[in-house]
Every structure is written in structure tokens, then in C-alpha cells.
Amino acid sequence: MRPNALNIVLAVLSTLIVRTTTAQEAGLDLARSELIDLTHPYNAATLYWPTSPGTFKLEQISYGPTEGGYFYSAYTMCSPEHGGTHLDAPIHFAENGQTADQVPLTRLIAPAVVIDVSARAARNRDYQLTPSDVRAFERVHGRIEPGTIVLLRTGWSRYWPDAKAYLGDNTPGDASKLSFPSYGTESVKLLVEERKVAAIGVDVASIDYGRSTDFMVHRTAMAASVPGFENLTNLEHVPATGAIVIALPMKIENGSGGPLRAVAIVPRRRDR
């Protein structure tokens, strides 16, 4: 019997533990790994869905020396759930789906694969991942295991944060003219129903391609309790296989999503 995804993660992470003479001296050996940040920073340029009622705001409460003689800074922040690098929880498109605080950690921390369609997307900005693409990937890299996080690399993060280039249109309040690549419905059916993946992610604004009007990728994935990670970046630095992704969102009770800090742990290349 093959080990499940959580056992794989635990086994890999355990290999990073440095055995020393005392427990206090134990730590993670990162010399053999690289940490790849898959997250865009939140700021005034952060992109949101065109119909979003607001964007990211950071307002200063305090900044500078205090009467006690020490420095102190604090801010308030405000953001819609779905903008920047973020989580789509199942309830986003499934009425009885899990909320952001209910998504199991086993769907957020898992081995990952990266399917690269950047060459096809460069020729067709409305490209959708197909089942044939998934099977072609598997012929080279092996069958995608249950509990895997699947990341789709389109190359689109190079356009961030240019709304016109990234989204295909920058008309305020209008999402009817968007154009960007992403998953196709049939490929997601294969991934969630047959491969039983933990989560899917992509370096564009939606797990549905830009011209979608029925959002069947969202509906298919989230009916199966599979969350989505959107607006990822740096996928070109993550190998096709062998990475572990840690994608931890803000734990918003009853939320349909929220800001996400996603990191890939990848084996360090020998030439580095």
C-alpha cells in the first residue's frame, strides 16, 4: 500500500531535522532545500476581480518614538477576501462547502506537482488545461498521487500587477471582457474525481479561465471539497515534482477565502 500524502510530507520534513546533542539545539537543516515564495505582496497595486467592492488598504495608526523612549508601529488593514495571492475555500462555490477556517491542513500542506502550459498559453491567452495535458505530464513524471497539490504554471505572473496585461481587460466593475489561461473543466474532473488531489493552484486570477461565464472549474473542484489557490507567483522556480507546498491562508471564521502565504520547499540544486 502506498503511503498517503500526509505521511509523505511528514517523512520528508523529518529528514530535515538536524540531530544534535540536546533537544534545544535541534532545528531545520535548510542547507539541502530552497524555500520559494509563491506569494505576491499586498500593497496599493494588488489586483482584485474587477467587480470587487474595494482593494487592499493599509492605514497607519502609529509610527515613531513613544513617550517611553522606544519605537512602535501599528496599522489597520482592509481587503476583500478574493484578491492578491489568496485561497478559495469550497464554500466560495459550494453552498455546504467548508469555510476558510474549516479547510483541513492536509489540503494546505502536501507534496506538489507543477504542470507547465506556459508555451501553449503564450500562443493562446485563453488556453485551458486539458486531460491530455495531464496524461502527458504523467507519462513523463508518473501518475499524480492522491493528496497532491497541483499547480498550473501559465507564465502569467510576469504581467503582475499590470491589470490590462494580466486580466486581459481593466474596465472597472466589468468582468465580461477578461482573457487569461487556466484550468479546463474536464481536466479538473480528472484531477479531483480520479486523482483525488488535495488542492489546485494557478498563477492567474482564477482557477477558471478568464472568459468563463459558468465557473465550472470552481463548481467542480469545490463540490469535491478541493480548495483553490489563485494569483500565485514564482512557479518557474518550482520543479515539476519533488516539492512540498505549504499554503496557509488567514484563518477567517466562516470566510469564503482569504489572503494566502504560499511557500514551496524544493530540493537544492547541486549547482547552487
pLDDT band of residue 269 (cuts 50, 70, 90) is confident
Least confident of 3-12, 220-229, 235-244: 3-12
pLDDT band of residue 21 (cuts 50, 70, 90) is very low
Rounded Cα distance between 55 and 44, Å, is: 8
What is the chain's length? 272
Residue 85 · residue 120 · CB < 8 Å: no
117 or 13: which leads in pLDDT? 117
In the three-class reduction of DSSP (H, G, I as helix; E, B as strand; rest coil), residue 92 is classed as helix
Rounded Cα distance between 223 and 230, Å, is: 18
Task: Read off the pTM.
Answer: 0.89
Among this protein's residues, is 141 annotated catalytic? no
- Record the cell numbers describing residue 1, joined without a space: 500500500
Rounded Cα distance between 250 and 19, Å, is: 33
Q: What is the pLDDT of residue 257?
A: 98
Residue 254 · residue 99 · CB < 8 Å: yes
The chain-wide mean pLDDT, for the chain, equals 91
Q: What is the pLDDT of residue 31?
A: 74
Q: What is the pLDDT of residue 227?
A: 98
> Could you report the per-residue pLDDT of 190-207, keeping only the tens digit for each?
999 999 999 999 999 999
Query: Domain coordinates of the chain in residue numbers?
Result: 30-52+81-267
Residue 178 · residue 167 · CB < 8 Å: yes
Q: By percentage, how much of the chain surpasses pLDDT 90?
A: 86
26 or 59: which leads in pLDDT? 59
- Cis upstream peptide for 161 (omega within 30°): yes
Residue indicated by cell numbers 509523505? 8
* 2 has a pLDDT exceeding 60: no
> Tell me, which fold does domain 30-52+81-267 have in CATH?
Glucose Oxidase; domain 1 (3.50.30)
Catalytic hit among 92, 141, 218, 237: 92
* 24 has a pLDDT exceeding 50: no
H or E segment to which residue 258 belongs: strand 257-267
Rounded Cα distance between 127 and 132, Å, is: 13
Residue 33 · residue 12 · CB < 8 Å: no
* 18 has a pLDDT exceeding 70: no
> Could you report the per-residue pLDDT of 175-189, keeping only the tens digit for each?
999 999 999 999 999
Give me the half-sphere count of Cα atoms (radius 13 Å) on the Cβ side of residue 221. 29
CA distances from 106 to 45, 85, 227, 248 (A): 32, 19, 11, 11
Summarize the confidence of residues 101-130 as an average pLDDT: 98
Q: Please list the alpha-helical segments (H only) found in 101-257.
A: 118-123, 131-141, 163-167, 185-189, 216-223
Rounded Cα distance between 176 and 89, Å, is: 23
* 116 has a pLDDT exceeding 50: yes
